[in-house]
Structure 1
Amino acid sequence: MKDVAVVAYCRTAIAKARRGALNQTHGIPMAAHVIREAVDRAQLDPHEIEDVVLGCGLPEGATGHNIARNAALFAGCGTQTPGITINRYCGSGLNAASVVANRIAAGEMQIGIAGGVESISLVQFHLNLDNFVYQPLQEKIPAVWWTMIQTADFVADKFSISREAQDQYVVDSQKRVAAALKEGKFAEEIVPLKTVMSVKNKKTGETSNKHVTLSEDEGPRPDTTLEGLTALEPVNTGGTITAGNASQLSDGAAAVVMMDAELAAQRNLPILGLFRGMQLSAVAPKEMSIAVAPAVKKLMKQHRLNMTDIDLWELHEAFAVTTLYNQDELDTPWEITNVNGGAIALGHPYGMSGIRYLGSTLMELGRREKHKAVIGVCTAVGMATAAYLER
């Protein structure tokens, strides 16, 4: 089996769903933008790309019609470049990377792109819900159709994770994002995107178009305080999940170029690191948040890793309760876990997030001159993905 190198990574800045700069940007130009830039950063000819695999949590409408193939065409990869769109909700991005890595490792191709894209603004609020629920399964396992907030509330209650602990986690995470912003870490990842957003006049209710350039994440709130979070009402009566301790609904895209490591070395390309493998797990759908821990444990066992081997941990902030549970279950040291904050502050475009974790974690390993990292991402209906990276 061949080693698989990540030779380039980039992303759009993350925009707030409906209210942000990408609120009417179609998924094709969004994804094509990062594909084009990733290829350029990798110093490759776009016609060398042998396959494009994009993860997408909601692959319909503006992110439907096999957006991977269409984005590859729009990015200039050429008509000879195929594409496939895959969906494992929040785990879609890491799964896309795994598909590309496996094909390279097996010698089926040498160069491919893995990415993720989500336009929650244009898709989530216009979903085709015709026959969405299948009643016989719903009667057996109702939580298959629960909202993610319902599952988070269930986990918080079952495992006695308090509202105060969740809110305090958010304060700490926001501080880490603020520090990373100040150091320019996210700017290294982001490729600015010129687009047209829809703006609503609050007084008149009229909407108009505005030309903008999205170059910074819209979500971070560095002035977040525990007092401010405590004042927020729970989304569900009797629950502990609020708009403050959950990841933000967001739009965005990200891409990595993956390559036969030997070929990349021969060309003297800038290798960010190696994608060593991925593992999956599944739990009861109502316990979605807890699935990361068993996925990580399977991954560690497969690669014969000890906890002390890992230099960085990235545990998905679907909700504060998600990270709190999995960090406690895995006993990951806080000083090397989510070191630059996470999705609660930055936002969570479902299909994009796994690719963002992959690229940004490799970049952070480089800054620290460290070598091994593990990523864990929970996903809807009680699943999770986990990936092992090495530099």
Structure 2
Amino acid sequence: MRDVAVVAYCRTAIAKARRGALNQTHGIPMAAHVIKEALHRATLDPEEVEDVVLGCGLPEGATGHNIARNAALFAGCGVKVPGMTINRYCGSGLNAASIVAHRIASGEMQVGVAGGVESISLVQFNLNLNHFVYEPLQQQIPAVWWTMIQTADFVADTFSISRQAQDAYVVESQKRVAEAHRAGKFAEEIVPFETVMSIKDKETGQISEKTVLLKEDEGPRPGTTLEGLSALEPVNDGGTVTAGNASQLSDGAAAVVMMDAELAAKRNLPILGLFRGMQLAAVAPDEMSIAVAPAIKRLMKHQGLSMGEIDLWELHEAFAVTTLYNQAELDTPWDITNVNGGAIALGHPYGMSGIRYLGSSLMELKRRDAHKAVIGVCTAGGMATAVFLER
């Protein structure tokens, strides 16, 4: 099997769903923008790409019609470059990267693009719910159709993870995001994107349009305090999940360029790191948040890794309870876990997040002159994806 190199990574800034800069941006230009820039950063001709695989949590409407193929066309890859869209909800981006990596590792191709895109603004609030629920399965396992907030509340209650612990974690995560922003870490990843957003006047209700340049993440709240979070009401009666300790609904896209590592080295391309492998795990749908730990344990065993070898851990912040449970179960050191904060502050465009974790982890390894990173992302339905990266 061939080594698989990641030679470029970029993303849009993450915009607030419905209220942010991308609230009326179609998924095609959003995804095409990062594909084009990633190829530029890799100094590759778009026509060299042999496949484009995009992850998308909600692949319909503005992110439907095989958006991977259409985004590749709009990015200028040419009609001979194929594309495929995949969906494993929040794990979609990492799964897209795994598909591209496996094709390269097996020798089927040499150059591919993996990415993720989500327009929650244009899709989630207009979903086709015709025959959405299949009653025989719902009667057997009702939690298949629970909201993710319901699953987070269930995990918090089942494993006695308090509201105070969740809110305290968020304060620290927001601080880490603010520190990373001040250090210019996110600016290294972000490719500015000009678009037209819709603005509604709160007093008159009148809607207008405005051309904007999105160049910074819109979600972070650097002034977050424990007192402020404690004042928020739970989303569900009797629950502990609030708007403050859950990941934000957001829009955005990200892409990586992956290549046969030997070819990349011969061409003296900027290798960010190697994609070493992926593993999956599944649990009961109502326990979605806890699936990260078994996925990572399976990955570690498969790769022959010990905990002490890992220089960086990225544990998905679907909810504060998600990270708290999996960090405790895996006993990852806090000083190397989610070092630049996470999705609670930055936002979580479902299909994009895994690619953001992949690219940002490799960039952070370089900053630290470190070598190994593990990423774990939980997924609706009680699943999780875990990835091992090496530099």
Q: How far 1:2 sits from its partner (Å)?
A: 0.1
Q: How far 1:227 sits from its partner (Å)?
A: 0.0
- The equivalent residue for 2:373 is 373
- Give 1:46-85 correspondences, 5 Å limit: 46-85=46-85
Could you say what secondary structure the match of 2:388 adopts?
Answer: strand
Matched AA of 2:2: K
Mapped partners of 1:61, 1:107: distance in 2 = 35
- The equivalent residue for 1:279 is 279
- The equivalent residue for 1:101 is 101
Deviations 1:322-355 (A, max 9, x none): 0000000000000000000000000000000000
Matched AA of 2:269: L
- The equivalent residue for 2:334 is 334
- The equivalent residue for 2:155 is 155
Matched AA of 2:352: M
Matched AA of 1:119: S
Q: Any unmatched runs of 5+ in structure 2?
A: none
- The equivalent residue for 2:198 is 198
Mapped partners of 1:63, 1:44: distance in 2 = 26
- Give 1:38-49 correspondences, 5 Å limit: 38-49=38-49
Mapped partners of 2:227, 2:285: distance in 1 = 33
**Stretches of 4+ aligned residues off by more than 6 angstroms:** none
- Give 1:307-346 correspondences, 5 Å limit: 307-346=307-346
Could you say what secondary structure the match of 1:240 adopts?
Answer: coil
Q: How far 1:162 sits from its partner (Å)?
A: 0.1
Mapped partners of 2:386, 2:266: distance in 1 = 30
Q: How far 1:292 sits from its partner (Å)?
A: 0.2
- The equivalent residue for 1:296 is 296
1:132 aligns with 2:132: yes
Mapped partners of 1:133, 1:195: distance in 2 = 36
Q: Any unmatched runs of 5+ in structure 1?
A: none
Deviations 1:204-228 (A, max 9, x none): 0010000000000000000000000
- The equivalent residue for 1:239 is 239
Q: How far 1:294 sits from its partner (Å)?
A: 0.2
Q: How far 1:295 sits from its partner (Å)?
A: 0.2
Could you say what secondary structure the match of 1:340 adopts?
Answer: coil
* Identical-residue share of aligned pairs (%): 83
Matched AA of 1:283: V
Deviations 1:123-170 (A, max 9, x none): 000000000000000000000000000000000000000000000000
Could you say what secondary structure the match of 2:24 adopts?
Answer: coil
Mapped partners of 1:336, 1:262: distance in 2 = 30
- The equivalent residue for 1:270 is 270
Q: How far 1:193 sits from its partner (Å)?
A: 0.3
Mapped partners of 1:381, 1:266: distance in 2 = 43
Mapped partners of 1:347, 1:385: distance in 2 = 19
Matched AA of 1:259: M
Mapped partners of 2:102, 2:216: distance in 1 = 33
Mapped partners of 1:216, 1:208: distance in 2 = 22
Could you say what secondary structure the match of 1:20 adopts?
Answer: coil
Aligned-residue CA RMSD in angstroms?
Answer: 0.2
Mapped partners of 2:18, 2:311: distance in 1 = 37
1:185 aligns with 2:199: no
- The equivalent residue for 1:364 is 364
**TM, length-normalised to structure 1:** 1.00
Matched AA of 2:48: E
Mapped partners of 2:270, 2:293: distance in 1 = 32
- The equivalent residue for 2:174 is 174
- The equivalent residue for 1:348 is 348
Would you say how many aligned residue pairs link Structure 1 and Structure 2? 391
Deviations 1:265-287 (A, max 9, x none): 00000000000000000000000
